[in-house]
Amino acid sequence: MTPYLALILALAVLAGILLILEIRRKNMHIWLPAYISRKKRPKHEGPTHIMFCFVDHFEPRWSNADYETEVRRVNRWIEQYPKIAEKHKDADGCYPKHCFYYPEEEYRKEHLEKIERLCNKGFGEIEIHLHHHNDTEAGLRKKLSRFTQNLHQTHGALSIWPESGKLAWGFVHGNWALDNSEADGSNCGINNELIILEEEGCYADFTLPSAPSTTQTAKINSIYYAKDDPQQPKSHNEGQDVTVGRAPWGDLMIVQGPLMLNWRNRKWGLLPRIENADIRANHPPTADRIALWVEAGIHVQGRPEWVFIKIHTHGTQESDMDALLGDPVDAMFSELENHYNDGENYVLHYVSTRETYNIIKAAENGKTGNPHAYRDYILPPPAYSRN
């Protein structure tokens, strides 16, 4: 063997070792098999409709902030977000819709009143976020009932199930630990959480992806139903895809955001970085990332022309606010409108999570054409947007 070939072999072995170590350190073994075996989105006639949904784990009290800091954080969103959103519209004339997933344990009436007014102008909707640890079924039901009733009665938030009259809401689990999915059992404590959420009125969960956390599921880039096993954690690790013409199954719909490998952004110049749909100042929403979100091709099975992109952030962290309320997110919306809204190849729709659910259900029920027609298909808008 020549010295040159020996060097190449040594570098290849080193790269392999680094890859294995990185896979374990980032918990990629959980989902990498599904990523490797994934299938391309089927071809279809006509344009691809892009449903773009921005979910914010909106935590004014993040890092145990004092009250003055909370107020500054909320006020900055109220003052600055409309300045960006008003510059952008989708194919339907809608502004980008920011989904404020507000934590139950951080409720302050004065903060929600400000966000309510922002949403009333068409800039977003309010939904449910919850951090809890070592909880009980009774404790969780009490928290959800109290918080949802408060949001609806005091702020006009949340939708209503037409048949039952119960409040309907989307959910994001704090610390990603949906259905007790932390490896050490922390940040939840309830193995039948999916059943409880559905019974209390949740229309879908929007927590995932959570990579590189151990809470990440084996199933990725999917819209699916999960069936809860009350004796086991992380029942949503697998599930049944939402499919055109197929009846609902299991206990709760799970709507995932894109989880990909970004080969254009490599660690050490060798290993692809994880694309987990998280928007941060140090992880801005570039054109390359947007292309990966589209490539993920998340859709209802049998309706490949309707693609759903759910991204997320933690909007009240000061280190990220310049990006979320400044040029990076402004440029993201421009990229979406300039390259994914030409009317021939792509049609762009800015949607809330409630509208996302409605359009998913419309697809499941065999509806076709322009998904804009199905924004309120089952769940009506919250009261504040009907004033």
List, for residues 190-209, the tens digit of each pLDDT value. 999 999 999 999 999 999 99
Mean pLDDT of 229-238: 98
pLDDT band at 272, cuts 50/70/90?
confident
CATH architecture entry for 47-386: Alpha-Beta Barrel (3.20)
HEC letters along the chain: CCHHHHHHHHHHHHHHHHHHHHHHHCCHHHCHHHHHCCCCCCCCCCCEEEEEEEEEECCCCCCCCCHHHHHHHHHHHHHHHHHHHCCCCCCCCCCCCEEEEEEHHHCCHHHHHHHHHHHHHHHEEEEEEECCCCCCHHHHHHHHHHHHHHHHHHHCCCEECCCCCCEEEEEEEHHHCHHHCCCCCCCCCCCCHHHHHHHHCEEEECCCCCCCCCCCCCCCCCEEEECCCCCCCCHHHCCEECECCCCCCCCEEEECCCCEEEEEEEECCCEEEEECCECECCECCCHHHHHHHHHHCCCCECCCCEEEEEEEECCCCHHHHHHHCCHHHHHHHHHHHHHCCCCCCEEEEECCHHHHHHHHHHHHCCCCCCHHHHCCCCCCCCHHHHC
With cut-offs at 50, 70 and 90, classify the pLDDT of residue 265. Answer: confident
pLDDT of residue 9: 62
pLDDT, one tens digit per residue, over 318-334 is: 999 999 999 999 999 99
Domain edges within the chain: 47-386
Residue 11, pLDDT > 60, answer no
Bigger pLDDT: 19 or 264?
264
